[in-house]
Each structure stands twice: as C-alpha cells, then as structure tokens.
Amino acid sequence: MPETSASEEETILIADDHPLFRQALAMAVRGVRPGAAIIEAGTVAAALEAARGAEKLALVLLDLRMPGAEGFMGVALMHAQRPDVPIIVVSSADAAGSAREAVRLGATGFLGKHEDLATMEKVIAAALAGERIAAPADAPLDAMASKLAGLTPMQLQVLHGVLAGRLNKQIAHDLGIAIPTVKAHMTAILRKLDVANRTQAVLAARTLGLTPPAVE
C-alpha cells in the first residue's frame, strides 16, 4: 500500500454515477490519503459545483461517462474550471485510446474500472505525487486540444449545447444567460478554435472525442 502524508484539509473529489464504484474509489483514496476529505458526485453538474467550492482540492477522479456529459466533455469542463488540479479519468472503455484523448484534454491519467484495489491506490498515489502518464504524439489533434483548452468553462458549456444541436435561445435557457451572451460566447469559441462556423466547431470538437449528451 502506498505510504503518503497529507494535510487534514486536503480534499479529493470522486465523480461517478455508480454508488458501488464510488465506494471502491473511496476505499482506494483512504488507503493513500487516510486524512483527506472525500466529496462524492453522481453527475457532471454536481462534480463541477463541488470542484468550484473545494479550496483544498488535490485530485479529481472522474468517470468518463456520467449524466450531463458524454465522451470527453466532462474532462474538458473539469479541466477548464480547475486547471490546477490533477484529474484521473475512470472508465471501462479501451484504455489506450481513452487515456490518449483524456490526457490531451487535461487529464493526468487513466484508471480502468476493472483494476484491483492495489492498482487503484498506485494510480492515485502517482497522480497526487504530480506524475503524468505518457500519450502518443499526434500533432494535429494536440494543436486542436490546445485550442480547446483555451475555452472558458462557460464557453465549453455553450459548445456542449451546440454539440447537442441546441439553438441559441435553448442554450440561453439551459444556462440561465441571455441570448446575446450566448452569441458572444459562440463568437469567442469560433475565434479560439480558428473555425468559421458552428458546423466546423462541432467537427473540431468531435475529433477530440467530445460527443453530444445522450438522449434519455
């Protein structure tokens, strides 16, 4: 079991929509950081809200697919909001491909849901120690990932709405902002991604594994 020390005020966020797996992750966290406070969230929105309010946030364990975001949008949103905090993506998806895309969008590492407790503890300890996993180089995608990383959390939320096929007035309603504000964010998104229109923005986002939310 990894031996580490941490402040009693240190906080670790576990975001997964399966309560039993949250328990497993919490057990692994306590094996590495017994004195840390643990916050749990079952949706992307709850995870983002928790991350906003956590002053001593040391690590985020983020399920790749949760209510509120599909694909890698949750990773992009969390990294945009807390770029100072390491993120471990937790998923049952293909490790090689998922790890590569997750790291491009700001994650520190990847943890498969099939791993045993000892492996979970090892990955968590490595992330808390500031270690990063390596990802295969892919210059075109890395360049777009850098552009996407320049979007603000609200701009990513607007892009999320565009990916879902929402109109500006619908996005405004969803986010509680004015339609002109949505348009202003959209203009900034097109400029930062260096694309000409919404369709090109969607295509650029999808090259990085960002997908629209699932229809329930």
- How high is the pLDDT of residue 4? 40
Range with lowest mean pLDDT among 14-18, 39-43, 129-133:
129-133
Beta-sheet pairing, 11-15 with 37-41: parallel
**Structure-model confidence comparison of residues 153 and 69, the more confident one:** 153
- How high is the pLDDT of residue 39? 95
- How high is the pLDDT of residue 171? 93
Q: What is the DSSP string of 155-215?
A: HHHHHHHHHTT--HHHHHHHHT--HHHHHHHHHHHHHHHT-SSHHHHHHHHHHTTEEPPPP
All domains in the chain, ordered by first residue? 11-128 (3.40.50.2300), 139-211 (1.10.10.10)
Show the tokens assigned to 177. Answer: 């902002």
Q: Is 64 in contact with 93 (CB distance < 8 Å)? A: yes
Q: What's the pLDDT tens digit per position in 177-214?
A: 999 999 999 999 999 888 888 888 887 777 666 655 54
Distance from CA of residue 25 to its chain's centroid? 17
Angle value at C-alpha 215, between 99 and 115, nearest 5 degrees? 30
- How high is the pLDDT of residue 139? 43
Centre a 10 Å sphere on the Cβ of residue 94 and count the other Cβ atoms it contains.
10
CB-based burial of residue 57 (10 Å sphere; 0-12 exposed, 13-18 middle, 19+ buried)? buried
- How high is the pLDDT of residue 202? 82
Q: Find residue 210's DSSP bridge partners.
A: 71
- 151-188: string of b/e by CB count within 10 Å (b at 16+)? bebbbbbbbbbbbbebebeebbeebebeeebbeebbeb
Q: What is the DSSP string of 74-98?
A: HHHHHHHH-TTS-EEEEESS-HHHH
Q: Look at the block and give the residue holding tokens 């993120």.
A: 87
Element (H, E) at 141: helix 139-149
